[in-house]
Each structure stands twice: as structure tokens, then as C-alpha cells.
Amino acid sequence: MRIIMLGAPGAGKGTQAKKIAAKYGIPHISTGDIFRANIKEGTELGKKAKTYMDQGLLVPDELVVDLVVDRLQQEDAQKGYVLDGFPRTIPQAESLDEALKKVNSKIDYAIDVDVPDENIINRMSGRRACVKCGATYHLMYAPTKVEGICDACGDKLILRDDDKPETVKKRLNVYHEQTQPLIDYYTSAKVLKRVDGTQDMEDVFRAIVAILGE
Ligand SMILES: [Zn+2]
């Protein structure tokens, strides 16, 4: 069961990826985790990646793919895996497919957790944060006892720049530009599965399980 997760920032794909990993006993693999692990262990690939990151440069596709493929070959990933946050671009998707083909493997499912932009913007704009203690809340899903006041420390809450509608919209535009080609790519590979991400988290997961099987 080799799975790729697609979905906009704020669509909840990370949460679903974790639930899939737990249910099916396969690792949840994110590129961030792979980078951190390789840098910590001081592997050759990790050292290479670090030279780019230290200069504030993007790690080139080729190296990212090498890191991911290396991770996918480890023991715990032999029964399958959930890839979260990779691939992000067509060249990455193609390189991944090529690398997998060499070891007689392929992606079985690309699951798109679909949430309309308007819903994501609404979700994000309901977030509130405390600058003083770092606690986070949500007007609808995790409200404070007194509106606008942090439960933990009593300080005033703010809407962070990152959660403001105009910032979220920009991020979503970048996402769509990058991801639409991927959706087309996995559609033609006949592995794309779309689930309605506007439902309750548990219902989204039920829809995914219906696709993957019990
Ligand atoms: Zn606080």
C-alpha cells in the first residue's frame, strides 16, 4: 500500500496521513522528517542537503528524490508508506516513478483531500493565537472561555499574519499552480482518489478507508 497525499495547506491531509499510517501499520513519511533525520545522523545525503539549507537555498529536486527513495527502501517501508508533502512538482513525481520502477515498485494511491479554498480561508481566519504564551485557539473549534482572552495566561489574542485571508489566499494560489499538474498526472496514472475534506475528520478518514479497504 504505497500512498501519496495531496491536499491544500489547511485541508487536514497531515492528520489523515497519520491516521492511515496508524491503521495500516505503515510509516508516515514527510520530507521534513527525512531531512532532519539525515542531517542529525550526518549521512552523505544529509550533509549535501545541509549545504543548501545553510545558504538558504532550496534543496534541488534530484537530491530530495534521492533522500526520499533512500527512505522508502528502509525495512519499515517494505509493506508500504504514506508520503506526505512529496512530490510537490511534476519533475519530482517523474523522478519518483522512475526510481520506483527500478525496484519494481509503484505508487498505488494518490489521495486528494479536497477542500474548497473558501472553507480553508474560513477555517484559518478563525484561528487565534496568544503572543505571550504561544497557546492557539479557534473561534469555532477551540474557543476560549472569554472571547479574545487567552485561557492560559489572560493575555489578548491575535489573528496571526499567516492566518489572515490574504496570506492564506496567496498560499492557496501557489498550491493550486503546483498541484493541479500533479492531480492530472496521477489521474492519467489511474491512481488518483478524491475525498471530500469538508466533512468531519472521522468521516474523511472513513471515506479513505472505503478506498483502501479494511
Ligand atoms: Zn497566553
- Among 13, 19, 71, 123, which one carries the catalytic annotation? 13
Q: Which of these is catalytic: 48, 50, 160, 169? A: 160
Least confident window among 19-28, 48-57, 103-112, 132-141:
48-57
CATH number for the domain running over 2-116+166-212: 3.40.50.300
108-118 confidence digits (pLDDT tens)? 999 999 999 99
**How far is residue 56's CA from residue 146's CA, in Å, rounded to a whole number?**
41
CB atoms within 10 A of CB 104: 6
pLDDT at 58: 81
* pLDDT > 90? residue 85: no
Tell how far the Cα of 8 is from the centroid of ligand 1, in angstroms.
29
pLDDT of residue 178: 85
Q: What percent of the chain has pLDDT over 70?
A: 100
Determine the average pLDDT of the residues in 45-56: 89
Q: Average of pLDDT values for 158-170?
A: 92
Distance from Cα 157 to the centre of ligand 1, integer Å: 8
**Cis preceding-peptide flag for 87 (omega within 30 of 0):** yes
Whether 128 is catalytic is no
Q: Is 151 or 60 the better-scoring residue by pLDDT?
A: 151
Active-site residue flag, 2: no
Question: Where are the domains positioned within the chain?
Answer: 2-116+166-212
d(Cα 29, Cα 71) in Å, to the nearest integer? 8
Among residues of the chain, what percentage have pLDDT more than 90?
Answer: 71
pLDDT above 90 for 33: no
Overall average pLDDT of the 96-118 stretch? 93
171 is annotated as an active-site residue: yes
Distance 170 CA to ligand 1 centre (A): 28
Residue ranges of the binding site: 10-15, 31, 36, 57-59, 85-88, 92, 127, 130, 133, 136-137, 150, 153, 160, 171, 199
Query: Distance between CA 114 and CA 70 in Å, rounded?
Result: 30
Is residue 42 over pLDDT 90?
yes
Q: Is the pLDDT of residue 32 over 90?
A: no
Q: Which of helix, strand or coil describes residue 33?
A: helix
Pairwise CA distance, residues 36 & 33, whole Å: 5
- Average pLDDT, stretch 22-41? 92
